[in-house]
């Protein structure tokens, strides 16, 4: 402390200037926020909507037809449905009301249909087993059948098999002679 008194007595102005300089330096250091700092940015965040679409290997055509079916007979047809959109889609199968000629007894009430999802037709190894989507009479098939979700660019092959059950001997199925039925199947996909 005696040294400070000596300096003060010798040149109070120099002591005040030195003190003022220290105060200014401290104020600048505090005012400038002298600390560590780091920044980063994530510019150009872009969002686009996906698309949902599908292709039908037999669009606007019958999956299969059968002429001159007899009791005990069957016929099979296939169709490939592919998700051609960029988004995963939920797929369904619907059908129109069968048109029977004659309306009674109605061939659609007699014929049974089995629809199976055979999976990707291009699969060659470790392919999943076929999954039965529906089996029962053509007439009683639900209006909408859920097929599950397909990722983008995934194809499923569906096999339709129609059977004409044989009711036995003695003309048990004579009421169906020359009868016909027509039905439309429609595929839909939603995101």
pLDDT in tens, 108-146: 999 999 999 999 999 999 999 999 999 999 999 999 999
Q: Is the pTM above the cut of 0.85?
A: no
What's the CATH number for 54-167+179-190? 2.60.120
Nearest to residue 154, comparing CAs of 106, 76, 88?
A: 88
Q: What is the pLDDT of residue 19?
A: 67
Cα 165 to Cα 70, 124, 168: the distances in Å are 9, 34, 9
pLDDT in tens, 6-18: 655 666 676 666 6
Q: What is the pLDDT of residue 16?
A: 67
> Is a pLDDT exceeding 80 seen at residue 27?
no
All structural domains of the chain with their residue ranges: 2-31, 54-167+179-190
Q: How large a percentage of the chain has pLDDT more than 90?
A: 71
Q: What is the pLDDT of residue 10?
A: 63
What band does 34 get if pLDDT is binned at 50, 70 and 90? Answer: low
**What is the average pLDDT score of the chain?**
89
Q: What is the pLDDT of residue 5?
A: 65
Nearest to residue 78, comparing CAs of 64, 92, 67?
A: 64
Q: What is the pLDDT of residue 35?
A: 78
| DSSP string for residues in 127-179 | PPPPEEEEEEETTTS-SEEEEEEE-TT-EEEEEEEEE-----TTTTTGGGTT-
> Is a pLDDT exceeding 90 seen at residue 190?
yes
């Amino acid at each position: 402390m005696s040294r400070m008194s000596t300096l003060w007595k010798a040149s109070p102005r120099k002591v005040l200037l030195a003190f003022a300089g220290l105060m200014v330096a401290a104020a600048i250091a505090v005012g400038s926020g002298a600390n560590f700092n780091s920044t980063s940015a994530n510019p150009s965040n872009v969002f686009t909507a996906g698309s949902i679409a599908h292709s039908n290997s037999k669009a606007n055509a019958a999956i299969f037809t059968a002429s001159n079916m007899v009791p005990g007979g069957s016929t099979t047809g296939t169709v490939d449905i592919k998700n051609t959109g960029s988004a995963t889609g939920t797929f369904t199968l619907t059908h129109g009301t069968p048109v029977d000629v004659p309306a009674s007894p109605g061939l659609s009430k007699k014929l049974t249909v089995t629809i199976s999802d055979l999976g990707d037709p291009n699969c060659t190894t470790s392919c999943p087993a076929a999954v039965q989507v529906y089996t029962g009479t053509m007439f009683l098939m639900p209006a909408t059948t859920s097929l599950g979700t397909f990722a983008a660019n995934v194809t499923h092959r569906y096999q339709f098999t129609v059977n004409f059950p044989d009711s036995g001997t003695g003309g048990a199925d004579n009421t169906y002679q020359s009868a016909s039925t027509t039905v439309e199947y429609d595929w839909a996909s939603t995101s």
